[in-house]
Structure 1
Amino acid sequence: MARTRAGWDWLKGPEPWSRRMLAGDLASAAVLALVGVGVDELSKSSGLKTVLGVVAVVSLVLLRRRLPATTLVVGAAASALLPGVFLVMVLLGWSAGRRIVGVGRALGAFLLAFLAQVGLTLVDQWAQMRPVLVLVFTTLMFLAATVMPGLASRYWHQRRTLLSALQERNDRLLRERTMVAGQARLRERQRIAQDMHDSLGHQLALIAVHTGALEVDPALTDRQREAVGVLRQASVAAMHELREVVGILRDGVEAPAPVEEAQPAARGVAGIAGIVEAARAAGTDVRLGTAGQPRPLVAACDHAAYRIVQEALTNAYKHAPGSPITVELRYEDDSLVVEIANGPAGDRVPGEVVSGGQGLTGLRERARLVGGMVHAGATEDGGFRVAGVLPYGTEPAGIVEDVADDFGQRSQARELALKGAPPLDWAALDRELSVPVRTRTGGVAMGCGIAVAAVVLLLIVMGAAVVMLVGSADNALIGRAEYDAVHVGESEESVRGRLPSGDSVLTGGMDRKGPPRPEDSQCLVLLSTDNTEWSADDTVFRFCFRDGKLVDKQAYQVKQ
């Protein structure tokens, strides 16, 4: 079992070989083997050659992933001796083009395969055809059926690899930029928090200490002591709020208040009623409404709702004093909607409002930190409306969305990762793409041009060969009656005058396949017109001349 698993791991090679890929390879091997059997049948190959061709096709298809260069060379050699293996060279060329790492190794493998195919084809067909014709046809067929698929596969694979590398490196660049942006934002927040803590914290602590000491001064009246107490409570509340703001700036989340420090009022949804009542006590017309089933919120969202109402009321006091204000809390299915609207502003003295212009910006940032949003704008009646949408659960907004995807490839890289694509082998990638881009693309373009030119030339040569074959058929065919009408002893001139010239590729090498020729004789070989394409043998007529006379004539069978 262990040996079988080890053999399976070796067979599938470095690439992941799924069951789907295995089924595809087996299906390809079956189709190519079946077509090869048909080619063997048309070429009148023996049963042994057919069986060897089927075994070779299946083995080469299954081993091409693990041994791309070896299968290419072996397949080229086998295709020269086994006609049914020729079609598998297209698949082997495609596989070797994309899997052989390095331009030098790929060039060497294809050159060795070419030499093996041409050399063995010349040896096998030496006695039947002209060597130059065999060399030309074999070279053109190798360029068209093996080199062109290899170049196309290599170009396609390098393009896919380069795009994958760019996508992964772009995603890495975006992550690094996200980290840099996050660190810069965190440093800036910490700096602001430190400044607020050192300046405002110190001043508020002094106010709290002095008001606390002043509150117990026996020289104050009860009304003065009550006013000082309000100031002390306000300074203590301001210190608590400053601590929370500093926590948000430092960590991006709400800082929990110490349990032992009592707060003057809840700073959450529960405290909204308190600030509404305080506004009414100050003479402002404020109405509070609630819709839906109240639901608990996490601390950060709860405090954000309180701050939205507080800031909106403050803005209404400043910009529209005396106008009625409506505060509404709506508990939706997935979020809390806080809406504050006021009527149109009355007449006021220009320049009387002092505002830093940062309140709404701070509300939007606070809502963004908890995954919500804030909208502010004028209403149709001339008033102003502030609305915030806050989720019930905390959904921190990622800083990644603030970083632009310059190349537009982040989603594609994530899709590749989700599909289970294997990580890139950067060492192999660097070796594969080590050739300069201009040289690599120029080489691929030149190779594809050579392959296309080879295909065109092959078609031209094949067309010319067909025309030549048809034209030379009349120079190589006679009937049985014409053969019988020729008698030994007749003059060579008389016999050649009645017979075709025999100058045809159809009769090449057939004079050496029959019975031994007479010594010092020159022979004319012709084919019988009674031969059919379904016959396994061809009938050959041979006429041998010596000293100007016909000294021998033979009729014999030659296997096609």
Structure 2
Amino acid sequence: MAKTRAGWDWLRGPEPWTRRMLAGDLALAAVLAILGLGIEELDRGSGQRMLLGAVAVVALTLLRRRLPAATLVAGSALSSALPGLFFVLPLLGWSAGRRIVGVGRALGAFTLAFVAALAFSVLDQWSQMRPLLIIVFSTLMFLAVTVMPGLASRYWSQRRTLLAALHERNGQLLRERAMVAGQARLRERQRIAQDMHDSLGHQLALIAVHTGALEVDPELTDRQREAVGVLRQASVSAMHELREVVGILRDGVESPPMVEEAQPAARGVAGIAGVVEAARAAGTEVRMTTSGRPRQLVAACDHAAYRIVQEALTNAYKHAPGAPITVELRYEDDSLVVEIANGPSAGPDEDVVSGGQGLTGLRERARLVGGMVHAGPAEGGGFRVAGVLPYGAEPAGAQDVADDFGQQAQAQKGTLPQAPGRRGEQQPMDWAAVDRELAVRVPSRAGGIAVGCGIAFAAVVVLVIVMIAAAVMLMDTAVDSMIGRDEYDAVHVGEAEATVRDRLPGGESFLTAGADRKGPPRPEGSECLVLLADDQTGQSLTTDLVFRFCFKDGKLVDKQAYEVKQ
């Protein structure tokens, strides 16, 4: 069993050979064997030669994948003795042109196959044809039947390899371009993080210090001291959030909270109650309601809900100070609805500073998690912000952020391509050069068809040349093997052999091969010359009129005229 499997693996060679491919090869071998039997029948081959030719066709077809050069040489050499191999030669040439590695090896294999085919053809037909015609005919046939399929196969295989290499190179360039762009984004994020840390961090620290000192001032009333405590707690929470945002921008991970400072409030649905309580402590009338069965949200949606409530409360503080606020959380079947509404107010404070980006940011945040945010005037006055967030949607940009972090890690390990320059200095990327690399045009389908048509046209031209050469050779040999009735009658039994042969053609032609044995019995010990009649009038399409002259002891001892089946 092990030997059988080893033999099967050797027969398959380096290419994967599935059952479908094996069935296809067997079917192809059967078709070629049937066509070869037809040629053997036309050549009047024996049954043994037909069987041997069919076996050879099947063996060469199955072995061509594993031994492309050997099968090409063997098929070319055996084709002269086994005419049934004619139709398998193009297949062997195609397989050899595609599978032989290296131009030198392929040229050597085709040259050896040509020499073998030419040598065996000359040996097989030496007695019936002129050697020069044999060489010309065999050369043209080899070019048309074997070389042309090999060239076409090699071109097709190399074109596919080139296309695969181009696609792989373009993919690599695209990946490198994405990595460089990711590095640029990370550098910009680090710069922004540094600016936020240096500017906002300093200001918030000053606020925390001054409010802390003000909180212990003995001249303040309890109400004032409570308000200052709320301010100090808000500044500390803002410093925590700023530190986490800076950490995410810089390293892609949240910064650990400092031990000496208070822990920041949870930023999710669970933290909304804290935000509402802080607003109440600041003197704002806020009412919060929850309906439905609470459900767990993914982290991105949970955080988005918190930010919607936080931003909506901030807008209410700015634009409707003193107006009552309602916060409602509704757990629907497929989504969480967060609604914040405030009543009408006399108008915003004159010193309100607004960047105009809060609601736009909320809409984008909700869009990234598959939800939506609506903001606008409420019925009866006031303003209303409502957000709809699905329970299980992941942020659309999560993969991009993960890719950025992965690229940053690769850059820190030194695996990303770096532009030449000093250590630690990022060189500007030549995007024009990258675009030129990406713009490499692969050969079009029309170009491939044109080349294929050119190869096919060349093969047709060679075949036409072969047919013309074969016709000329046939006419030449026919002229050298025909005489008229008058010439036959002018020769008499008893004349000298030399005199008769000087008056008659040589008769070396495949057209008369074996015809001397198909007529009346020859005189014993005689040597016969068979010629065709140049006038076949009255003969059927399947018979020929031949003239036989038999010589013995230097004289013409017998002459016969009879019909022979083709």
SS at match of 2:175: helix
Residue 227 of structure 2 is aligned to residue 221 of structure 1: no
Question: Partner of 1:408 in structure 2?
Answer: none
How many angstroms apart in 1 are the aligned matches of 2:321 and 2:213? Answer: 36
How many angstroms apart in 2 are the aligned matches of 1:150 and 1:345? Answer: 89
Cα separation, partners in 2 of 1:99 and 1:50, compared to 1, 3 Å: same
Question: Partner of 2:458 in structure 1?
Answer: 453
Post-superposition Cα deviations, 1:76-130, rounded to whole Å, max 9, x if no partner, equal: 1122221121211121111112112222322232222222222212221222334
Aligned AA (1:355): S
Question: Partner of 1:153 in structure 2?
Answer: 153
Alignment of structure 1 residues 447-526 onto 2, 5 Å: 449=454, 452-459=457-464, 462=467, 488=493, 507=511, 525-526=531-532
Instruction: Quote the offset at 1:164 in angstroms.
Output: 1.6
Post-superposition Cα deviations, 1:356-395, rounded to whole Å, max 9, x if no partner, equal: 3554565577568x75566678899999977564553645
Post-superposition Cα deviations, 1:438-479, rounded to whole Å, max 9, x if no partner, equal: 9xxx9x999974763342342365368569969998997899
Alignment of structure 1 residues 21-170 onto 2, 5 Å: 21-170=21-170
How many angstroms apart in 2 are the aligned matches of 1:478 and 1:131? Answer: 24
Aligned AA (1:356): G
SS at match of 1:553: strand
How many angstroms apart in 2 are the aligned matches of 1:285 and 1:323? Answer: 7
Residue 238 of structure 2 is aligned to residue 233 of structure 1: no
Question: Partner of 2:188 in structure 1?
Answer: 188
- Preserved contact between residue 74 and residue 113 of structure 2 (Cα < 8 Å): yes
SS at match of 1:80: coil
Post-superposition Cα deviations, 1:327-376, rounded to whole Å, max 9, x if no partner, equal: 77665666656577999999989x976333554565577568x7556667
How many angstroms apart in 1 are the aligned matches of 2:87 and 2:40? Answer: 12
Question: Partner of 1:250 in structure 2?
Answer: 250
Post-superposition Cα deviations, 1:129-175, rounded to whole Å, max 9, x if no partner, equal: 34444334333332232222222222222222122222222223333
Residue 413 of structure 2 is aligned to residue 397 of structure 1: no
Question: Partner of 1:12 in structure 2?
Answer: 12
Cα separation, partners in 2 of 1:218 and 1:329, compared to 1, 3 Å: closer
- Preserved contact between residue 240 and residue 264 of structure 2 (Cα < 8 Å): no
Q: Percent of pairs identical after alignment? A: 70
Alignment of structure 1 residues 274-285 onto 2, 5 Å: 275=275
Alignment of structure 1 residues 317-332 onto 2, 5 Å: none
Instruction: Quote the offset at 1:14 in angstroms.
Output: 2.1
Aligned AA (1:455): V
SS at match of 2:398: coil
How many angstroms apart in 2 are the aligned matches of 1:213 and 1:301? Answer: 39
How many angstroms apart in 2 are the aligned matches of 1:148 and 1:379? Answer: 81
Give the counterpart of 1:542 among 527, 548, 561: 548
Question: Partner of 1:197 in structure 2?
Answer: 197
Aligned AA (2:353): V
How many angstroms apart in 2 are the aligned matches of 1:307 and 1:209? Answer: 27
How many angstroms apart in 2 are the aligned matches of 1:366 and 1:51? Answer: 79
How many angstroms apart in 2 are the aligned matches of 1:254 and 1:388? Answer: 27
Cα separation, partners in 2 of 1:352 and 1:237, compared to 1, 3 Å: closer
How many angstroms apart in 1 are the aligned matches of 2:137 and 2:317? Answer: 95
Cα separation, partners in 2 of 1:95 and 1:386, compared to 1, 3 Å: farther
Aligned AA (1:398): Q
Residue 175 of structure 2 is aligned to residue 175 of structure 1: yes
SS at match of 1:87: helix
Cα separation, partners in 2 of 1:215 and 1:384, compared to 1, 3 Å: closer
Question: Partner of 1:553 in structure 2?
Answer: 559
SS at match of 1:354: coil
Residue 267 of structure 2 is aligned to residue 267 of structure 1: yes
How many angstroms apart in 2 are the aligned matches of 1:240 and 1:459? Answer: 88
How many angstroms apart in 2 are the aligned matches of 1:41 and 1:400? Answer: 74
- Preserved contact between residue 482 and residue 531 of structure 2 (Cα < 8 Å): no
How many angstroms apart in 1 are the aligned matches of 2:452 and 2:24? Answer: 29
SS at match of 2:547: strand
Aligned AA (1:180): V
- Count of paired positions: 513
SS at match of 1:81: coil
Instruction: Quote the offset at 1:225 in angstroms.
Output: 0.9
- Preserved contact between residue 215 and residue 225 of structure 1 (Cα < 8 Å): yes
Post-superposition Cα deviations, 1:472-529, rounded to whole Å, max 9, x if no partner, equal: 989978999998997526999xx99xx998989664677999979999x996712697
Question: Partner of 1:301 in structure 2?
Answer: 301
Cα separation, partners in 2 of 1:42 and 1:291, compared to 1, 3 Å: farther
Cα separation, partners in 2 of 1:227 and 1:280, compared to 1, 3 Å: closer
- Preserved contact between residue 33 and residue 84 of structure 2 (Cα < 8 Å): yes
How many angstroms apart in 2 are the aligned matches of 1:220 and 1:341? Answer: 34
SS at match of 1:211: helix
How many angstroms apart in 1 are the aligned matches of 2:477 and 2:467? Answer: 15
Aligned AA (2:531): V
SS at match of 1:398: helix
Cα separation, partners in 2 of 1:327 and 1:104, compared to 1, 3 Å: farther
- Preserved contact between residue 33 and residue 57 of structure 1 (Cα < 8 Å): yes
Post-superposition Cα deviations, 1:174-218, rounded to whole Å, max 9, x if no partner, equal: 333333333333333334334433443344334334323332332
How many angstroms apart in 2 are the aligned matches of 1:372 and 1:108? Answer: 66
Instruction: Quote the offset at 1:224 in angstroms.
Output: 1.9
- Preserved contact between residue 475 and residue 500 of structure 1 (Cα < 8 Å): no
TM-score with structure 2 setting the length: 0.69
Question: Partner of 2:431 in structure 1?
Answer: none
How many angstroms apart in 1 are the aligned matches of 2:21 and 2:241? Answer: 63
How many angstroms apart in 2 are the aligned matches of 1:239 and 1:206? Answer: 11
Cα separation, partners in 2 of 1:3 and 1:522, compared to 1, 3 Å: closer
Aligned AA (2:159): R
Question: Partner of 2:355 in structure 1?
Answer: 356
How many angstroms apart in 2 are the aligned matches of 1:168 and 1:106? Answer: 27
How many angstroms apart in 2 are the aligned matches of 1:522 and 1:169? Answer: 74
How many angstroms apart in 2 are the aligned matches of 1:533 and 1:299? Answer: 93
Instruction: Quote the offset at 1:322 in angstroms.
Output: 9.9
How many angstroms apart in 1 are the aligned matches of 2:509 and 2:127? Answer: 12
How many angstroms apart in 1 are the aligned matches of 2:517 and 2:243? Answer: 107
SS at match of 1:356: coil
Cα separation, partners in 2 of 1:187 and 1:327, compared to 1, 3 Å: same
Post-superposition Cα deviations, 1:47-74, rounded to whole Å, max 9, x if no partner, equal: 3322322232222222222222222111
Cα separation, partners in 2 of 1:384 and 1:172, compared to 1, 3 Å: farther
Post-superposition Cα deviations, 1:411-452, rounded to whole Å, max 9, x if no partner, equal: xxxxxxxxxxxxxxxxxxxxxxxxxx99xxx9x999974763
How many angstroms apart in 2 are the aligned matches of 1:325 and 1:90? Answer: 87
Cα separation, partners in 2 of 1:480 and 1:379, compared to 1, 3 Å: farther
- Preserved contact between residue 327 and residue 338 of structure 1 (Cα < 8 Å): yes
How many angstroms apart in 2 are the aligned matches of 1:87 and 1:400? Answer: 61
Instruction: Quote the offset at 1:229 in angstroms.
Output: 1.0
- Preserved contact between residue 10 and residue 66 of structure 2 (Cα < 8 Å): yes
Deviates more, 1:259-268 or 1:390-399: 259-268
Aligned AA (1:11): L
Cα separation, partners in 2 of 1:475 and 1:198, compared to 1, 3 Å: closer
Q: Any gaps of 5 or more consecutive residues in structure 2?
A: 405-441
Aligned AA (2:398): A
Deviates more, 1:170-179 or 1:287-296: 287-296
Aligned AA (1:52): L
SS at match of 1:541: strand
- Preserved contact between residue 517 and residue 544 of structure 1 (Cα < 8 Å): no
